[in-house]
Structure 1
Amino acid sequence: MSAATRLEIFAPDGVPEVVAGDDLVALALAAAELADGDVLVVTSKIVSKAEGRLRRGSREEALAGETVRVVARRGETAIVRNRLGLTMAAAGIDNSNVPLGQIVLLPEDPDGSARTIREGIHEHGGANVAVVVSDTAGRAWREGQTDVAIGAAGLVVAEDFAGRTDAHGNELAVTLPAVADELAGAAELATGKLGGRPFSVVRGRADLVLPAGEHGPGAASLVRPDGADLFGYGAREAVLRALRAHDDDRRPFGAPAPATELAAAIREIVGLAPSHTGAADGALVVTYPRGTSRALRALVFAHGWTMNATDHPHEARLRPADV
C-alpha cells in the first residue's frame, strides 16, 4: 500500500493551557514524536494565545478593527473579508476556549507562524515536517463548519492536476485539490473541539512535504484576490451596492463583463438596445427614457462598467471601468 492511499492521524493528549510567550515548538516536541514527512497541524487558537492575541471585550467590539469590508450581514451575524483576505464570520474572532470576557484574534501572520514552528522543529527535533495552522470556517451553501488551513509552511498546499488525463483519457482542466484544507479538516477529526488537543500529526503524505528550507507559497496562496471570486457580496448586499453605485464597491463585482453580456442585460431588464460606438474600448451608447436611469446605472455598475452623460439629453456612454 502506497503512502498516498493510507493516512494515520493522531492528536496527543496532555498539552497544557497555552499562554502568551509559550514556546509552541517545545510543546509540540514534548507532545509527539515527529518524523520526516509528517504534517503537523496546529490550531490557530494556540498560535494566537502564544503570540498574545487575547483581548478583553466582545467580538462585536473588535470586529471593525479586523474587517476590510463587509460581505453580508443578517441580524447579528456578519460575514466579512478580514485583513488576512479570509472571508469568515466575525472576521475569525473567537470567544471559545478563552476566559470569560475575553476574545482571541487570528494570528497576525499565520504563514509566518507556520514557518517559525517548522524551522524550530527542524532545529530542535531534527525532523523535516510541514506545518499547517488551522481554523474553523463555514462553507457557502453547506450547513456546519470544517477546519481549513489559514497558514502553512513546507507544504504543497494545492495539487495541480491540470493537463493530466484520467483513466478514461479525459484531460483534466481545472482540478486543483486544496490539500492544505483537506489535511486541516482531517486533523480536526482527531483534535476535536473540546478535547484540549491543539496539535495533530498527519502521517502518510510525505510526498506533499517540501525539502528543509523550502517553505512554499503558504496558505495565503489559496485566498482568491478580491474581485476574482464570483460571490463578492451576499445577494442582498449586491443589490444594494449596485444601486448605490459607489466606486469603492467596484472591485468585488469583478472584471468588466463583455459588451454583449451587458447589452443583453439592458435589453432584458430595461427594454433598451444599446449600440456600439466603434471605439477601441468597446464603448456602448444608450438612449433611455425618463425614470429608468437608476435601474440602468445599477445594471451598468454590476457588470463592471461606467455610465456617463453625453451632450444629448437622456443619452449615456457606457465603457468598461478600470478596476
Structure 2
Amino acid sequence: MLQVWALEGIPEVVAGDDLVALIAQSAGDTLADGDIVVVTSKIVSKAEGRSVDADDREDAITRETVRVVATREHPGGRTRIVQNRLGMVSAAAGVDASNTPEGTILLLPVDPDASARALAAGLREALGVHVGVIVTDTLGRAWREGQTDAAIGAGGVHVFEDLRGGTDAEGRPLVVTMPCAADEIASAADLVKGKAARLPVAVVRGRADLVGDLDLPGARTIVRPLERDMFRLGTLEAYADGFAAGAASSAQKD
C-alpha cells in the first residue's frame, strides 16, 4: 500500500539553513527504512542562496539558458521555452517568482542531484533510517495543459523502474516499458504538498524497492539526449529552420 503525507512545521527557509536538521526535526521518529522524502526545489534553492533580484529575471533566464526551444510573444509579455544548464527543457529555465520573498526570484539549485544525495546522506545519519530523497520542480508537459511536479534531483533512489524483458498481464514481452518512477513519486507527493500550503516536504512510503545506494544515477539521467529528442524545437522554429535550409539548398543549386 502506498502512503503519502506532508511534513508540517518546517519554517520559512533562508540562505544558509540546515535542511537536514529542519526536515529531521519535522519528521521526528516518523520515518522508516525505505521511505522516500520528496523536497520542493524552492527550499533547496533558498538554503543554497540561489535568490536574485526580481528586476534581473529576464537576464537570469538568459544566463541559465543553453538552448532556446521556442519563444512566443503574447499580451502578457513573452514566454521562453528553453533548455537550461541542467539539460531540462522548461519555461523560463526554471527561474521562479512564486513563493519567494518580495522583490526576489529563485534559480534552480546548482546541482539538484548533489543536493538530493547530501540530504539523503544527512537524514540517514541523523535519523538512522535508510531513506531516499527526490528534489522536485513544477513543469509543463508537451501536448497537455496544466503542470505537474517532476524529479530534478535524486539521491539514493532508482529513478527508473526497468520492466524491459518482463511480460505484461497477458504474457506478452515488455520491450520498451521503463516507467520514470521518480517523476511518479514527485507527482504523488505534490498532491499533499500543494502549491500554497507552505508544506514543502512530503514522505512517500510503500516503494522501498526504489531506495538504494547514494551513488545511484540521479535525475539528470531522465533528460533525453538531444540526438534522440524528436521534438527538440518548437513548431514555428522547426519550420523556420527547414525553410532556411531549403532556401540555402536551392541557392546552391542555382
With structure 1 as the length reference, what TM-score do the two structures score?
Answer: 0.74
1:188, CA displacement in angstroms?
0.3
1:149 partnered with 2:151: yes
Q: Which has the bigger relative contact order, CA under 8 A and spacing at least 6?
A: 2
Aligned match of 2:50: 53
1:242, CA displacement in angstroms?
2.7
Aligned match of 2:179: 177
Match of 1:87, as an amino acid? V
Aligned match of 2:36: 39
Larger radius of gyration: 1
Pick one of 20, 25, 29 that aligns with 1:30: 25
Match of 1:64, as an amino acid? T
Pick one of 244, 247, 252 that aligns with 1:294: 247
Give the unaligned 5+ runs of structure 2: none
Pick one of 195, 198, 202 that aligns with 1:193: 195
Aligned match of 1:105: 107
Aligned match of 1:62: 60
Looking at structure 2, the residues matched to 50 and 167 of structure 1 have their Cα atoms a distance apart, in angstroms, of 46
1:160, CA displacement in angstroms?
1.0
1:240, CA displacement in angstroms?
1.3
Secondary structure of the corresponding residue to residue 137 of structure 1 = strand
Looking at structure 2, the residues matched to 104 and 194 of structure 1 have their Cα atoms a distance apart, in angstroms, of 16
1:17 partnered with 2:12: yes
Q: Are the counterparts in 1 of residues 15 and 46 from structure 2 also a CA contact under 8 Å?
A: yes
1:126 partnered with 2:128: yes
Aligned-pair identity (%)? 56
Looking at structure 1, the residues matched to 241 and 114 of structure 2 have their Cα atoms a distance apart, in angstroms, of 35
Secondary structure of the corresponding residue to residue 227 of structure 2 = coil
Q: Are the counterparts in 2 of residues 155 and 215 from structure 1 also a CA contact under 8 Å?
A: no
Secondary structure of the corresponding residue to residue 226 of structure 2 = coil
Q: How many residues align?
A: 247
Give the unaligned 5+ runs of structure 1: 1-5, 246-292, 298-306, 316-323
With structure 2 as the length reference, what TM-score do the two structures score?
Answer: 0.93
Match of 2:236, as an amino acid? R
Pick one of 117, 120, 124 that aligns with 2:119: 117
Q: Are the counterparts in 2 of residues 71 and 233 from structure 1 also a CA contact under 8 Å?
A: yes
Please, what is the CA RMSD of the aligned residues?
1.6
